[in-house]
């Protein structure tokens, strides 16, 4: 994976999909880290003092490193895992679940929703908890066909109990090449039931925009992510739909976990003609406004936005702007609640990447939705019974609202 997202802000729940440069050899770190991620050996007084401070700070680390290599019972130890664990521990100590370390495999898989296709069962998952948890199945995927729902927790893989394993390790067991089967046992907290499914992995193509006309004259757009191609895909879809003179438009953001911040602004600008659409709040309290861009293709048509518990980050920015600016009606259930912005920085020599929270975002009315989510204007749940009956009450309500606006 050569993709470098450094410098491009990402607003995405860290999900995986089914799916330090060099090694430490002992001794003390020489020099100090500059903001651009390089090491300096400048000999001026300040550099010498800072280097000396780091030598003192890192002394317990290297002392422990020596104890592990000299005294740990099972030798040899894996230096790569030790370094990865050290980086993870450092970032975990910040107490921010959206700041963390990604192994090379995790980073490659986490960027797939933003870029293209992959092989697996077709589900977004959360690896930050005790169990590997489904955030959302992808439309038309094997995971969706198997009936998986948001919140389902993996407890067995191919008959093996995985409840004591790290979710990232479980993920590696679940993913695999197209055409192969994986037997999974899930626990569904909402109903307290346990169930088994065998899923055949497939190659999953990932268009970020799916569009069609509903009921003959209602335009419908489903955004799966805010990725590299979303802006152009959305413009093309709107051109096709708007040429058919629809009476209203439904923007479906359900189970959309986010993506690039600049793409979120592009998407919002297709529906909102002008004004501030969000604020980025820096650590010092400074607020940077983001404005709608001119030239939107659907700035006046009656609009309903569908949201649910899988709508996160960039989806919440989009829905929050539409709600605060009274541009449309939000229908569904409360969203995920991620109100921060990350920079994903690949480490040198393909040694993984780090996610660093660099800011928080606010809606145009200065609402902070972190851990709370957006509340819909019209609350409509989507139950397991609805799914089994192939009924979509949220979509039906959206069509009803647009019909009433005629």
Cα gap 346→352, rounded to integer Å: 6
For the question of residue 40 being annotated catalytic, the response is no
Q: Of 126, 141, 338, 340, which is the active-site residue?
A: 338
201 and 178 Cβ atoms separated by less than 8 Å: yes
CA nearest neighbour of 313 among 112, 97, 14, 109 = 14
Q: Tell me if residue 313 is catalytic.
A: yes
- E-strand stretches of 22-180: 32-33, 39-40, 100-102, 118-120, 123-126, 133-137, 153-157, 160-161
168 CB-contact burial (10 Å; exposed 0-12 / middle 13-18 / buried 19+) = middle
CA-closest candidate to residue 202, choices 119, 116, 268, 273: 119
Around Cβ 273, how many Cβ atoms within 10 Å? 15
User: Exactly one of 126, 152, 252, 324 is catalytic; which is it?
Assistant: 324
For 146, 334, 384, 385, 395, the CA distances from 390, given in Å and listed in that order, are 14, 22, 10, 8, 12
Q: What is the DSSP string of 228-239?
A: TTHHHHHHHHHH
At residue 263, φ and ψ (nearest 5 deg) are: -70, -35
Among the listed residues 141, 208, 311, 313, the single catalytic one is 313
> How distant is the alpha carbon of residue 131 from its chain centre?
17
How many alpha carbons fall within 13 Å on the CB side of residue 45? Answer: 0
Question: Where do the DSSP E strands lie in 297-365?
Answer: 303-307, 329-332, 340-346, 353-362
Chain centre distance of CA 338? 10
- φ, ψ for residue 123 (rounded to 5)? -145, 140
3-state SS, residue 198:
strand
Instruction: Verify whether residue 351 is a known catalytic residue.
Output: no
Q: 3-class DSSP state for residue 208?
A: coil
Please state, in angstroms and rounded to a whole number, the distance separating the CA atoms of residues 105 and 101: 11
Q: Measure CA 83 to chain center.
A: 25
Catalytic residues: 313, 324, 338
């Amino acid at each position: 994976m050569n993709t470098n997202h450094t410098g491009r802000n990402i607003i995405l729940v860290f999900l995986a999909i089914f799916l330090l440069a060099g090694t430490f050899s002992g001794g003390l770190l020489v020099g100090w880290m500059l903001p651009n991620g390089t090491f300096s050996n400048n000999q001026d007084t300040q550099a010498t003092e800072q280097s000396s401070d780091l030598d003192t700070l890192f002394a317990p680390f290297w002392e422990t490193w020596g104890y592990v290599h000299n005294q740990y019972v099972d030798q040899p130890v894996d230096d790569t895992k030790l370094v990865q664990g050290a980086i993870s521990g450092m970032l975990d100590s910040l107490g921010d679940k959206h700041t963390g370390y990604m192994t090379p495999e995790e980073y490659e898989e986490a960027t797939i929703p933003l870029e293209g296709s992959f092989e697996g069962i077709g589900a977004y998952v959360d690896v930050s908890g005790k169990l590997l948890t489904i955030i959302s199945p992808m439309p038309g995927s094997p995971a969706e066909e198997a009936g998986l729902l948001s919140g389902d927790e993996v407890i067995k893989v191919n008959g093996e109990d995985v409840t004591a394993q790290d979710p990232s390790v479980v993920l590696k067991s679940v993913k695999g090449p197209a055409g192969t089967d994986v037997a999974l046992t899930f626990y569904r907290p909402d109903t307290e039931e346990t169930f088994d499914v065998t899923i055949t992995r497939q190659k999953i193509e990932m268009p970020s925009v799916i569009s069609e006309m509903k009921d003959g004259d209602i335009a419908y757009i489903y955004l799966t992510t805010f990725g590299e191609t979303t802006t152009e895909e959305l413009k093309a879809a709107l051109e096709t739909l708007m040429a058919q003179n629809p009476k209203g438009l439904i923007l479906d953001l359900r189970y959309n976990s986010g993506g690039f911040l600049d793409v979120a602004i592009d998407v919002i600008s297709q529906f909102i003609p002008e004004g501030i659409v969000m604020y980025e709040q820096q650590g010092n309290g400074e607020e940077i406004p983001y404005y709608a861009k001119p030239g939107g293709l659907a700035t006046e048509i009656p609009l309903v936005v569908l949201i649910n518990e899988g709508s996160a980050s960039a989806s919440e920015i989009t829905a929050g702007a539409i709600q605060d600016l009274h541009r449309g009606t939000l229908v569904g259930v409360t969203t995920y609640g991620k109100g921060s912005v990350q920079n994903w920085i690949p480490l040198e020599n393909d040694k993984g990447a780090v996610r660093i929270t660099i800011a928080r975002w606010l809606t145009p009315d200065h609402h902070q939705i972190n851990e709370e989510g957006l509340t819909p204007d019209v609350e409509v749940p989507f139950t397991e019974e609805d799914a089994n009956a192939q009924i979509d009450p949220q979509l039906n309500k959206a069509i009803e609202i647009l019909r009433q606006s005629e």
